[in-house]
Structures are given as structure tokens and as C-alpha cells.
Amino acid sequence: MNKKYERYIEYIVNDIEAPYFINMRDSYGLSPDEYEMILSKIFKQPVSIMGNNHYVYGELERIIYSEYDNGDWYKQEYDNQGNEIYYESSDGYWYKKEYDPNGKLIYHENSYGEIEDNR
């Protein structure tokens, strides 16, 4: 990869916002062949893309991002045991979770201000 192209890719990674697929195509003029490279840098892990609704799978082979043709999207994060620890959607809703070493949910909070703490 030449230096000019590398700088352009880094610019996109630092500048782009969700909905990623729409913006990669419309705002940056990227080809579908470049999407996995960009998303791997955004999510800081190797990714694979599947399906018409642009499902992005991360290292744990779980969906970490999905986007629909209308621009709606959601993203998720997981801990090392595969427990979902974060969820966010394009409508502004989010939640965070924490688990004990045995995988039991011990903390949950969301964008509505609801908190459940069992630590």
C-alpha cells in the first residue's frame, strides 16, 4: 500500500461515522473490496462481512455491527468469554453489562437511566 493511500485510509477511519456502509460508499467512494479493511481498523479486530444487511462479524464470530439499507444500524461488543457487554443502536438506545468470572450478569445500565447492580 503506498503512503498516500495509507494516509487516506487512516483519515477515513478517524473521520467516518455510522452508518458505515452508506458513508463508505457515498461519502468516500470506496469499493466493497475495501470495506473489510476499513471496518477492521474501526473495530480494531479482523472482521468479515456477510448478508444483504451488512452483518459484520468480529473475532468471536459474533455480529459486532449491522446496517440496513435505510441507514439504521446497531453495534455490539463482547468480553473474552463471549458475553455481550455493550449495545448501541442508531436510534440512540444503548446498554452496558458486566459479568462475573462465571458468566453471571452482575451489572446492567441503559440509556433510559435504568441501573441494576448485583455486585
When pLDDT is cut at 50, 70 and 90, the band that residue 1 belongs to is confident
Number of C-beta neighbours around residue 39 at 10 A: 24
Q: What pLDDT is attached to residue 74?
A: 97
CA dist., res. 46 & res. 115, Å (int): 32
Q: What is the mean pLDDT of residues 105-114?
A: 98
* Amino acid in the structure at residue 54: H
pLDDT tens digits, 22-49:
999 999 999 999 999 999 999 999 999 9
Range of the domain at 117: 79-119
Question: Considering the entire predicted model, what is its pTM?
Answer: 0.90
Q: What pLDDT is attached to residue 10?
A: 96
Q: Are residues 46 and 4 in the same domain?
A: yes
Q: What pLDDT is attached to residue 115?
A: 97
**Number of separate domains in the chain:** 2
Query: Is the previous residue joined to 46 through a cis bond, with omega within 30 degrees of 0?
Result: no
Q: Are residues 3 and 47 in the same domain?
A: yes
Q: Are residues 8 and 47 in the same domain?
A: yes
pLDDT tens digits, 44-62:
999 999 987 799 999 989 9
